[in-house]
Amino acid sequence: DVKVTQSSRYLVKRTGEKVFLECVQDMDHENMFWYRQDPGLGLRLIYFSYDVKMKEKGDIPEGYSVSREKKERFSLILESASTNQTSMYLCASSSLSGGGGNEQFFGPGTRLTVL
């Protein structure tokens, strides 16, 4: 079974703190994604990585950065956490589609609260 794990299920941080969210996948997938999920807004892509050290901005990258030093690990960094970054954060991975569809496998999510 494909497994995507996220370092924390729940996290509480203070405004201004630097926050690291870690994601690890065990299926040798090329692509990894970070989304945030908010009620009524669905899944919004923050950043996407298609290879080690490669990244691409998603729809809402402001206030976030990412790091992918190893193929299996993709980190989301909140440089200076703010209250409007309180959300559920979901990591996902997928293999290169190659015309055969592109299932994304999601982790269980990290619920981040910024006080």
Q: Which residues bind other proteins (CB under 8 A)?
A: 4, 31, 33, 40-45, 48, 50, 56, 58, 90, 92, 94, 96-97, 99, 101-109
Smallest CA-to-CA distance from 26 within 71, 68, 62, 56 is with 71
Residue 88 CB, shortest distance to other proteins, in Å, is 9
CA distance linking residue 60 with residue 6, whole number of Å = 20
Q: How far apart are the first and last CA of the chain?
A: 37
Q: Considering beta carbons, is residue 18 or 39 the nearer one to other proteins?
A: 39
Q: Considering beta carbons, is residue 15 or 52 the nearer one to other proteins?
A: 52
